[in-house]
Structure formats: C-alpha cells, structure tokens
C-alpha cells in the first residue's frame, strides 16, 4: 500500500527516539549518533527492529543531524553516512512492508549564508533520492519558509515523493524562531506539497496535548512529543520511564483528530508498544471542526507616537542615554526629563556599551517611560543573551508597553576580560531582526514591535552599505541610527543611502566636551575620524564651560551644514550631560532641512 493511501485510512504510528535511546543502550552520551551508521551499524539496525517489533509502521533513518555543520565533515562523508543509514533501516525492515522515511533536521550555522544552507539541504535530498527513499521527514524545525522550499524541491524531483513537516514548539506554543503555533499551522495548511504537518520535540506529551486542544487540527496532523523533560544524574541525561502516561496523552491527541503519532526524545520501544496495543481497534478520526471555546482577549492597542511620526516623515529627535553602572538612577532620570522638556521625541538607551555591565537597557527604559511619559527605545545587542533570554526580554518590554527597539550586534567584550566573560552572539543584527519580525506574528491588533538598525557612514564601500541597509529593511527595519557624523564625506554617504533605499535615517550627533575627549575619541574609537579643524577647536587648558560650549557650537554647525542628509537627529549624549543636548536642540529649533 502506498504511503498516501495508508494515511488516508489509518492512524500512522511511527517510531520513537533514536539518539536518546542509542545513548541509553550504549552509555554513549553523544547526541550525534549518525556516525554510528558506519561505525556501529548493528546497534542502529537493532534499534530500528525494536521499534518495528513494538508496532511502528514507519521508521526514520538515523540521519537527523547528517549535515556538514552538525557533524563537522565533508559532503562526501554526509553522503556515505546517509547511504549507511538507509541500509541499516532496510536491513531492519526486511520484507515487513513498513515505511522508511528520510529524517532531516535543521542545519544551524550562523557563519553560512541562507543560500548555501538551502543548497546543502537540496544535496541531502538528492542523496536520499539516489537511495530510492521517497518519504521525507523534516523534523524539529523552527522556520517554515525553508521547509516550504524543501517540500517544493522534493516534489520537483519526484511527483510521487511526499514530505512531512514537523516543528518544535515550546510549552507556550512558539518555535525557537518566534513563530506561533497558529502561524505554523496556517502556513503548512496552504502548502499542497506537504502531506503531513505537525509538531515534534520541544515539549512533553502533556504540554503538546494542551497546545493541540486549542489548535486547528489538520487532516493529516502529526504529534511526536518528547517523553517528558530530562534530568541530569551523575552527568548523564535521564528521562523518566513513563510509557503509560505518555500513551494516555497520545490517545487524547488521537481523539482530537491527530492521525500521525510517535515519540521524540526520551521515548523508547516501550512507549511505542503501549500506543500500538492501545490503538489496535481505533479507527482514523476526522478532525473535529475547530470551535473557539474562549473568546480571545483583544488587548488595547498601545499608541506608538514615535512610529506614527516616522511614517509621515516628520523630523524627529532621538537622544541616547547610557544606563548607570550602579543602582543610582537619579542622573539618568533627571537627564530624561531635561531632554523631554527640550523637545526630544524619544529616549534611546544603550545596552551595556563597550561590553561593560550597566543597568539593563529594557528595565531602565521602562522606568523612564513610566515616570517621565516620554517614548523610549532600548537597544538590544546579541553579545550577552541567547535566543531564550532575548525573547524573554522583548516580551517583558512589550508588557511594559515598549514598542520600539534598536537591534544591534553589540560591542565585543574587551580582550582582558574574555577569560571571565563569554560572549553569546546567537545572532547577528540581521538574524535578530528576522527573529523579532517572526515574533510580531503573535501580537494582536497590529500592535507590533517596531525596530531599527545601526548605520555606519564611514563604511569603505557605500554600495555594500546600501545593500546591507536594504537587507535590514527587508527583515522589517523601519529606521536607522547612524554613528556620529563629523565630515562632509560621511554626510554624502548618508545622502546616497537615503536616496537609494528610502530609509528613515537619524544622523548621529555626538558633542565633544573637551580637548581630552576629542583626542580620545579620534585615537581610540575604531572608525571614528574627527577632522583636525574640530579637534583644534579645543585646547588642554580650556575651562569646562567653555569646552562644552565649543562642543555645542560645533554640533549646531554640523547639523546646519549637513541637514539634508537625514530625516531626523540622533543625539549621543556625552556622559549623560543632557544640558548640552538641550542647548543644541534650542540652537537648531527654527532650522529647516537644507534643500
């Protein structure tokens, strides 16, 4: 019987976990058991047979992580591993008539381009086609765009081939990339190239059951949860033996209309056997019509005046403040009030600049917004937080009615501290923007996060700078803040970017405060070149008030001479001296952009 015919008429029970069961049987804690296809094929074949004996009608090849990034090997080695994996599965299947599916997991490598990764996926699919495996099991994915492309490619190679697309949700119903359960289901339901759609890994059976109870159940819906959540005992990952409990949750999923079932991490042949015995007399059930039992809560939309002004190309003023190193927030709160009264539209808060720990940018932004009632925009950099922490921070900010963010890669940790402080860099700035864009799909009433990016006008290649800005805009960036501008050359680069992209650009203005400050920034800040004429406006014996006034006057002159290269102004407040920014704002208050 063909696979398509089988799933039309039957509940499909697939196998359980390979990697965790391999670890359990061998004592080898490595989660990458794909090399065992060649080094120890007997144990892989034995595991397949155990699942078939337990009652599985489909087994997945031991190839989930068979790719060059996960295994740190060549593509030729990947091909050999896939060939050996298919042989192990076929040896186990014999003439049983079971289905064999090509297990393909996500390729995660931030150093590679999307096009390069897509090309490797296609080559992996080709390897399976050469082995005459025509069921493709894409599992534990977090982005559906790539899976839709792969399912289309599978069809283009063989019209009779079928694809299953399974995504990993956390207990709250979101993938690692920020896609909601409903967004995934909607995308998959509209793709005719996908025969089976559903969820695997990520959660235990109880959490997945809870998510499915609130979900639309597709005609060929898959539910392949973990057995539960693991514990660490004597440095070994241990899952509970809970096959009876697992079975009961799976049966509830079947009653919802789920028709493709099995197990992921922590499940064993015992789990599959329990399910097989329980569903012998079950008939495939059509998914029930989706009825929303609870009215969705539509929250009141947060007014985002800053973004509304950007949309209409009003000329805006953003002012940056650095959070304190300690718990004393009096200075930054006072500076925020001064800037608001001076006419700033928004306070933007740096995220531990120069890799030095300061008060969290989101926490201090929330306090400023509540107490001064000015709009805020915390910076989020990729240096310190992984995907989980960034998502948690953004959701916390969202609850505090913060809707604007500057997303940046972040300054590296200083060389002398790298033994004690480890950078994270789960993303670069573009990947972070993609992640936040996907999060936006879960917010109601178009009350979404608006974000911008950084722009360096001193880039050596303006064409590449324009392309990078366009790429960020494609991910959803709606405005750009530049590094401080001091020269006509930098202003000209901004004009070219603005004309080529249509981006809303805030020109960076960082007033100098003294001779020492000017020399330090010119000599020690990478990429910032302060013209000699500006540096010579200061001298070592200059009184503080005279130096500050010189910094104010220079900034006003820069704004007036370069006013046509940007849409707004972004003041980088030196040492949180908000009084200087107030003087500059007042000094250019009646100026119009140059024509």
Q: What pLDDT digit, counting tens, does each position of 245-299 carry?
A: 999 999 999 999 999 999 999 999 999 999 999 998 777 766 654 433 444 445 5
Whether the Cβ atoms of residue 148 and residue 124 lie closer than 8 Å to each other:
no
Would you say residue 411 has pLDDT above 80? no
Residues 259 and 195 reside in one and the same domain: yes
Domain containing residue 198: CATH number: 3.20.20.330
Would you say residue 593 has pLDDT above 60? no
Asked, for residue 553, whether it belongs to a domain, the answer is no
The tokens for 405 are 């963010």
Q: What pLDDT digit, counting tens, does each position of 512-563 carry?
A: 999 999 999 998 877 788 999 999 999 999 999 999 999 999 999 999 999 8
User: Which domain, by its residues, includes 354?
Assistant: 310-511+567-574
Domain containing residue 392: CATH number: 3.20.20.220
Domain count for the chain, please give it.
2
The tokens for 226 are 């973990």
Residues 263 and 324 reside in one and the same domain: no
Last residue of a domain, one of 238, 256, 278: 278
Q: Residues 87-107: what's their mean pLDDT?
A: 96
Residues 93 and 212 reside in one and the same domain: yes
Residues 316 and 272 reside in one and the same domain: no
What's the whole-model pTM score?
Answer: 0.69
| Distance between CA atoms of residues 316 and 261, nearest Å | 55
Residues 233 and 350 reside in one and the same domain: no
Q: What pLDDT digit, counting tens, does each position of 115-136 carry?
A: 999 999 999 999 999 999 999 9
Tell me which DSSP letter residue 174 carries: B
* Coil, strand or helix at 245: helix
The tokens for 560 are 């007036």
How many Cβ atoms from other residues are within 10 Å of residue 322's Cβ?
24
Higher confidence at residue 95 or residue 290? 95
How many Cβ atoms from other residues are within 10 Å of residue 575's Cβ?
11
What pLDDT is stored for residue 292 in this prediction? 37
- 49-58, 72-81, 402-411: range with lowest mean pLDDT: 402-411
Residues 271 and 377 reside in one and the same domain: no
What pLDDT is stored for residue 423 in this prediction? 72
Residues 271 and 315 reside in one and the same domain: no
Residues 272 and 326 reside in one and the same domain: no
Asked, for residue 426, whether it belongs to a domain, the answer is yes
Residues 273 and 152 reside in one and the same domain: yes
| Distance between CA atoms of residues 113 and 109, nearest Å | 8
Whether the Cβ atoms of residue 367 and residue 329 lie closer than 8 Å to each other:
yes
Number of residues that make up the chain: 595
Residues 494 and 365 reside in one and the same domain: yes
Beta bridge partners, 378, equal: 349
Would you say residue 138 has pLDDT above 90? yes
Asked, for residue 550, whether it belongs to a domain, the answer is no
Would you say residue 238 has pLDDT above 80? no
Percent helix, strand, coil in the chain, to 5, is 45, 15, 40
């Amino acid at each position: 019987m063909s696979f398509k015919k089988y799933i039309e008429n039957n509940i499909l029970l697939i196998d359980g976990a390979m990697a965790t069961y391999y670890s359990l049987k061998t004592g080898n804690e490595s989660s990458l058991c794909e090399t065992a296809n060649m080094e120890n094929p007997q144990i892989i074949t034995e595991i397949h047979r155990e699942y078939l004996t337990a009652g599985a009608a489909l087994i997945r090849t031991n190839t989930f992580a068979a790719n060059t990034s996960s295994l740190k090997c060549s593509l030729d080695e990947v091909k050999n591993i896939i060939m050996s994996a298919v042989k192990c599965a076929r040896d186990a299947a014999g003439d049983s008539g079971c289905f064999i599916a090509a297990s393909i997991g996500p390729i995660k490598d931030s150093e590679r381009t999307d096009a390069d990764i897509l090309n490797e996926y296609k080559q992996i699919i080709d390897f399976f086609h050469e082995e005459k495996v025509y069921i493709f099991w894409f599992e534990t994915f977090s982005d559906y765009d790539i899976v839709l492309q792969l399912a289309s490619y599978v069809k283009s190679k063989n019209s009779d081939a079928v694809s299953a697309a399974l995504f990993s949700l956390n207990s709250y119903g979101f993938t690692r990339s920020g896609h909601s359960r409903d967004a995934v289901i909607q995308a998959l339901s509209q793709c005719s190239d996908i025969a089976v759609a559903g969820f695997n890994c990520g959660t235990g059976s109880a959490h997945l059951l809870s998510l499915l109870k609130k979900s639309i159940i597709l005609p060929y819906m898959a539910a392949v949860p973990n057995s539960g959540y693991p514990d660490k005992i004597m440095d070994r990952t241990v899952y509970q033996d809970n096959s009876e409990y697992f079975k009961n949750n799976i049966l509830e999923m079947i009653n919802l209309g789920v028709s493709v079932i099995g197990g992921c991490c922590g499940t064993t042949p015992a789990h599959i056997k329990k399910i097989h015995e329980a569903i012998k007399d079950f008939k495939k059930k059509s998914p029930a019509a989706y009825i929303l039992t609870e009215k969705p809560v539509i929250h009141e939309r947060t007014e985002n005046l800053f973004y509304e002004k950007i949309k209409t190309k009003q000329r805006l003023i953003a002012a940056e403040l650095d959070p304190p190193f300690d718990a004393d927030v009096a200075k930054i709160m006072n500076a925020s009030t001064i800037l608001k009264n001076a006419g700033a539209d928004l306070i933007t808060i740096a995220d531990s600049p120069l890799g030095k720990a300061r008060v969290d940018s989101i926490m201090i932004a929330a306090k400023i917004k509540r107490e001064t009632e000015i709009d805020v925009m915390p910076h989020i950099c990729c240096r310190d937080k992984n995907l989980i922490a960034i998502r948690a921070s953004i959701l916390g900010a969202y609850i505090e009615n913060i809707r604007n963010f500057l997303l940046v890669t972040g300054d590296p940790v200083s060389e002398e501290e790298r033994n004690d402080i480890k950078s994270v860099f789960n993303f670069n700035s573009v990947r972070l923007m993609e992640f936040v864009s996907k999060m936006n799909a879960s917010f109601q009433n178009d009350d979404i996060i608006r974000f911008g990016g950084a722009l360096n006008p001193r880039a050596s290649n303006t064409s590449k700078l324009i392309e990078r800005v366009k790429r960020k805009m494609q991910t959803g960036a709606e405005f750009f803040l530049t590094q401080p501008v001091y020269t006509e050359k930098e202003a000209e680069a901004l004009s070219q970017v603005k004309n080529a992209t249509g981006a809303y650009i805030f020109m960076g203005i960082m007033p100098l405060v003294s001779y020492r400050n000017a020399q330090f920034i010119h000599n020690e800040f990478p990429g910032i070149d302060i013209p000699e004429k500006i540096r010579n406006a200061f001298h070592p014996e200059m009184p503080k008030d005279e130096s500050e006034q010189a910094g104010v006057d220079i900034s006003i002159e820069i704004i007036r001479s370069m006013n046509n290269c940007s849409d707004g102004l972004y003041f980088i407040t030196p040492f949180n001296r908000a009084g200087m920014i107030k003087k500059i704002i007042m000094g250019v208050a009646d100026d119009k952009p140059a024509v």
